[in-house]
């Protein structure tokens, strides 16, 4: 089982040096996690390190393919508020 980085990653490098298993590597268009190496930080840390520092909601999926940091969990912006504002901007 492993975490996975998906396309919303902004390539900020924050997770790469933290990974205890050297599973994260720079790639294009975005960083990736080597599923064979990822240990979910078990035995090294209480919390998975990439998930704990990633600033982008939804950019990392947990082993069940769900966002490890769901919408609103990092920015504090309620998802419905975000949708409302984005719709308003697009309608201008």
36 binds other proteins (CB under 8 A): no
- Considering the rule CB under 8 A, would residue 53 count as an interface residue with other proteins? yes
Q: Position of tokens 């919303």?
A: 8
State how far the Cα of 65 lies from the Cα of 39, in Å rounded to an integer: 16
Least CB distance from residue 1 to other proteins, whole Å?
A: 20
Tokens of 18: 């933290």
The C-alpha atoms of residue 25 and residue 13 are separated, in whole angstroms, by 9
Q: Which of 11, 35, 70, 80 binds other proteins (CB under 8 A)?
A: 11
Instruction: Examine residue 18 and tell whether it contacts other proteins (CB under 8 A).
Output: yes
Q: How far is CA 37 from its chain centroid?
A: 17
- Distance (Å, whole) CA 2 – CA 71: 21
Q: Is 45 in the site for other proteins (CB under 8 A)?
A: yes
Q: Which residues bind other proteins (CB under 8 A)?
A: 8, 10-14, 18, 45-47, 49, 52-53, 55-56, 74-77, 81-82, 85, 88-89, 92
């Amino acid at each position: 089982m492993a975490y996975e980085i998906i396309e919303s990653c902004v390539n900020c490098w924050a997770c790469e040096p933290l990974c205890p298993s050297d599973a994260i590597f720079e790639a294009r268009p975005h960083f990736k996690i080597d599923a064979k190496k990822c240990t979910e930080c078990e035995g090294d840390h209480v919390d998975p390190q990439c998930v704990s520092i990633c600033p982008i909601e939804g950019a990392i999926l947990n082993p069940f393919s769900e966002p490890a940091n769901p919408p609103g969990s990092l920015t504090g912006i309620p998802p419905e508020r975000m949708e409302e504002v984005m719709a308003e901007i697009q309608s201008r």
